[in-house]
Structure 1
Amino acid sequence: MKKVWKSSAFLLVAATMFLTSACGSSSPASTSGSASPAATKAAEAAKPADKKIVLGFAQVGAESGWRTANTKSIQDSAKEAGIDLKFSDAQQKQENQIKAIRSYIAQKVDAIAFSPVVESGWDTVLKEAKDAGIPVVLTDRAVDSKDTSLYKTFLGSDFVEEGRNAGKWLVEKVKDQKGPINIVELQGTTGSAPAIDRKKGFEEVIKSNPNLKIVKSQTGDFTRAKGKEVMEAFIKSAKAENTKMDVLYAHNDDMALGAIQALEEAGIKPGKDILVISLDGTKDAFTAMKDGKINVIVECNPLMGPQVMQIVKDVVAGKEVPKRILTKEGVFPQETAEKELPNRQY
């Protein structure tokens, strides 16, 4: 009787082991029937590489031709790179950008890129992105945060150097002139990196010539309409004070073009009666320069989309990237306008 019980117990244990083994082979991790646990693990690890990168991009707005070209470059390049782009237009309001960035964090995107409306006030939201493990790339404009770990890199122009280049051209242009040379300045959006830096670089250089003096300086908010409005006020003030405006230094093309319209309506010939210096390098500005209305353009290249997408791919992959990446740009005096105009892509 004991022998029979022992035999039965042995058969029961064997059957249980067989059933357990059979259940294991039918689990989701082994549905192919031939994949080993190691192979299955490797296949799962490979999945993220095939996953489409999701990028949240918070744009400043559409305040200028330069910005429109920058947006198009970002959108076209994302499509070409196979990146899923979530795009927002902040309409030049910081609160809208912060709201968009928080939305991207909530959506758990793979990376965030943005062009800050102004330099300050970003630490809190950037820390939220860092805590969520989402890398941030700054494009076109910088932030003034002391904690540089809040972003991976900053891709854009050297705005101070752009201001210096504008100043160098002017100093050389008027080196033989005697007496005071009055400059009126159209600044970009107050508090923005390009407005701060382009002013700084320009002033740094022109102080070498004591005849050069900025007599009026006001923001035109980087728009054509505001540039025209402020220039009209400058003209009215100059007439009332019986002073001459010798140079216009505009922080971007759209403000310069608006100012040109105001000058012409007042019977002043831009490019002749008053030297016009502009920054960016849009097709409209080169057309105006070809027509003799702008004397020099310092380029600021908006077509940074391909660089942005490569940087995003690298940071998502965990690669180290330089903290500061510059775009290539040039200085174009009036005599180059006709030759260069066909090369303008924006």
Structure 2
Amino acid sequence: MGFTDMLKRIIACALCLILAVTAAGCGKKEDEKADAKILLGFSQLGSESAWRMGNTKDIEDQAENYNISLMLENANQKQENQIDAIRRFIAYKVDVIAFSPIVEEGWDNVLLEAKNAGIPVILVDRDISTQKVDLTTCLIGADFYQEGVMAAEYLIRKADSLGMEHVNIVEITGTENSTPMRQRQAGFYDTIAADGRMTILESIDGDFLKSRGAECMRYLLKTYSDTIDVVFSHNDEMTLGALPEIEKAGFVPGRNIVIISIDGGQEAINVLKEGRINCVVECTPKLG
């Protein structure tokens, strides 16, 4: 997503938030409204990566900057924990609910409860799929599809520069049925579809976790051995987990195998400078 598009989205969501909180405050006495802070309940999906922890910190920082009272809950990668947190926010009568959904589906009932309670809901980082309309106010997030496109475009250029006639790719995806997993994969697949050199050997769920990245890479190396030309990983944590496994197998990441990652955390950038990662597509965590 370009800066202008991101700015427009943030402004739009800010306006939605202002309108929502104004509506939520109707019926209160004027002096109460003048003194009251906005109370925001935010359910973070977890702390699985440096990106996610940076995202949480940015939300905490911005809440402090704008004098917003923040109720923050960590769901530890479990949808049921997020649903429970949203219900607690409703019971506490917060002014606004925000959350980063771990998966896209399964939110209709709890969000309808929030709507019936008159509490606006903002999505952060990830989108959802619902059967009902108008359950959320807006989404603040990156263009995951374009991130996948950029990763694929880099690969095509790299294959051209190396004179590769056939390109065998293994993919370590993010959490199954999450927005970044679906859209990053779609952007990547759509872009390489017209290039007859590209073959996806296998796509495997790494759940955005470093430990799972290592497990997935061990399996992929055992299954496909020296036929792997490219590893496309949906985030830096999984990439950093995969690299030692590649080295243990006797390959040099960045040379024998092209490594493409997404996020842009400092550790991955350092490894990029070392040449052990070939490409890192940036995804900013600063969505607060």
Does TM, normalized by the shorter one, top 0.5? yes
User: Which blocks of at least 5 consecutive residues in structure 2 are unaligned?
Assistant: 1-27
> Partner amino acid for 1:82?
N
Out of 234, 239, 263, the position equivalent to 1:251 is 234
Deviation at 1:146, TM superposition (A): 4.5
Q: Which residue of 2 aligns with 1:168?
A: 153
Out of 186, 192, 200, the position equivalent to 1:206 is 192
Q: Which residue of 2 aligns with 1:76?
A: 61
Q: Which residue of 1 aligns with 2:283?
A: 300
Structure 1 Cα separation of the partners of residues 164 and 40 of structure 2 = 55
Q: Which residue of 1 aligns with 2:181?
A: 195
User: Which blocks of at least 5 consecutive residues in structure 1 are unaligned?
Assistant: 1-42, 306-346
Structure 1 Cα separation of the partners of residues 102 and 176 of structure 2 = 10
Deviation at 1:47, TM superposition (A): 2.4
The residue matched to 1:150 in structure 2 has which SS?
coil
Note the alpha carbon deviations across 1:302-327, whole angstroms, 9 max, x for none. 0111xxxxxxxxxxxxxxxxxxxxxx
Q: Which residue of 1 aligns with 2:110?
A: 125
Aligned sequence identity (%): 46
Out of 35, 38, 50, the position equivalent to 1:53 is 38
Deviation at 1:180, TM superposition (A): 1.7
Q: Which residue of 2 aligns with 1:278?
A: 261
> Partner amino acid for 1:147?
K
Cα RMSD (Å): 1.3
Structure 1 Cα separation of the partners of residues 157 and 31 of structure 2 = 59
> Partner amino acid for 2:196?
P
Deviation at 1:65, TM superposition (A): 0.7
> Partner amino acid for 2:178?
S
Out of 116, 123, 141, the position equivalent to 2:101 is 116
Task: Kindly name which structure, 1 or 2, has the bigger radius of gyration based on alpha carbons.
Answer: 1
> Partner amino acid for 2:84?
K
Out of 187, 193, 205, the position equivalent to 1:219 is 205
1:157 corresponds to 2:142: yes
Structure 1 Cα separation of the partners of residues 31 and 277 of structure 2 = 55
> Partner amino acid for 1:155?
I
Note the alpha carbon deviations across 1:106-163, whole angstroms, 9 max, x for none. 0000000000000001111111101100010000000012434111100001111111
Q: Which residue of 2 aligns with 1:261?
A: 244
Deviation at 1:255, TM superposition (A): 0.4
Q: Which residue of 1 aligns with 2:223?
A: 237
Deviation at 1:45, TM superposition (A): 2.0
Deviation at 1:76, TM superposition (A): 1.5
The residue matched to 1:174 in structure 2 has which SS?
helix
> Partner amino acid for 1:174?
A
Structure 1 Cα separation of the partners of residues 164 and 96 of structure 2 = 55
The residue matched to 1:86 in structure 2 has which SS?
strand
Deviation at 1:178, TM superposition (A): 4.2
Structure 2 Cα separation of the partners of residues 293 and 270 of structure 1 = 5
Structure 2 Cα separation of the partners of residues 48 and 90 of structure 1 = 31
**Superposition map of 1:141-152 within 5 A:** 141-152=126-137
Deviation at 1:209, TM superposition (A): 0.8
1:134 corresponds to 2:119: yes
Aligned length: 260
Structure 2 Cα separation of the partners of residues 251 and 190 of structure 1 = 11
Q: Which residue of 2 aligns with 1:94?
A: 79
Tell me the TM-score normalised to structure 2 length. 0.88
The residue matched to 1:267 in structure 2 has which SS?
coil
Q: Which residue of 2 aligns with 1:326?
A: none
Deviation at 1:50, TM superposition (A): 2.2
The residue matched to 2:216 in structure 1 has which SS?
helix
